[in-house]
Structure 1
Amino acid sequence: MEETLFKSESTLDRSAIADHLRAVADKLDAGEPIVLTAGEETLSLEVPARPTFEVKAERETGSGPDELSVEFELEWDDGQDGGEAGGEFSVE
C-alpha cells in the first residue's frame, strides 16, 4: 500500500525549478532534513546517508500530444540508513 505524505504540482520556469533542486541538493550535502512546504502543509524528511537514487525518463502516449517527463527519486526504508552502492551515474 502506498500513502502520499505530500504532493505539490505547479508550472514553473526552469530557473525556479533549478532553485528548488539546488535547495534539495544543499540540504543533502549538509546532512540536514528536507522540509517540503505548500500553503499550510509542511513535511520534514530525514534522508539517510545512503538512500537509493532512481532516475527515470518516460514518454506517455495516448490521447493528445506525447508527454515527456524526468523523475528523480530518493528512496529508503523507514528507520534504515540506506542501501548498497549502485552503478555509476552522471548528468551531463
Structure 2
Amino acid sequence: MPEEVLFKSESDRDREEIASMLRRVADNLDAGDAVTLTAGSDSVTLEPPARPTFEVKAEREGPADGPGELSIEFELEWDETDGGSGDDGRLEIE
C-alpha cells in the first residue's frame, strides 16, 4: 500500500519542549479530542478513534561496527474505515 505523508516536522528541541508537546497530545487523547499538528503554514487535524493501535519502537541506525543514531518512536495507527483495533500486548513505559 503506498504511503502518503500528510504532515512532517523535524527539529531539534530541548527535552522539556518535547515533553510539553507529548503532554498536549496525551491530554487531547484523554479528552477524546482531535490532534492538530502545525508547523509554519502546514497543518493537519486527525481524530484518533477510541482504540487505535499504539506502536513503540526503539532503534539504532548506523554501521554495525560503530556508533549510530538512537531513536524512540511512538506511533498511533488506525484504519480510516473502521476506527482500528489492535493487539492487547502489555506495554509499560517507565
- The TM-score, its normalising length taken from structure 2, stands at 0.91
State the match for 2:93 in structure 1: 91
Whole-angstrom distance in 1 between the partners of 2:71 and 2:87: 26
1:80 deviation in Å?
1.7
Structure 2 regions of 5+ residues with no counterpart?
Answer: none
Q: CA RMSD, aligned part only?
A: 1.5
Name the aligned partner's letter for residue 33 of structure 1: A
Counterpart in the other structure of 2:24: 23
- 1:24-46 Cα offsets, whole Å, 9 max, x none, are 00000000000000001110001
What is the Cα deviation at residue 87 of structure 1? 1.1
Instruction: Name the CA shift for 1:23/1:60 in 2 (closer, same or farther; >3 Å).
Output: same
Equivalent residue, structure 2, for 1:61: 62
Give the SS at the match of 1:56: strand
Percent identity between the two aligned chains: 60
Measured after TM superposition, the shift of residue 61 of structure 1 is 1.4
What is the deviation of 1:85?
4.5
| SS in structure 2 at match of 1:68 | strand
Unaligned segments of structure 1, at least 5 residues: none
Q: Within 5 Å, which residues of 2 pair with 1:1-92?
A: 1-62=2-63, 65-92=67-94
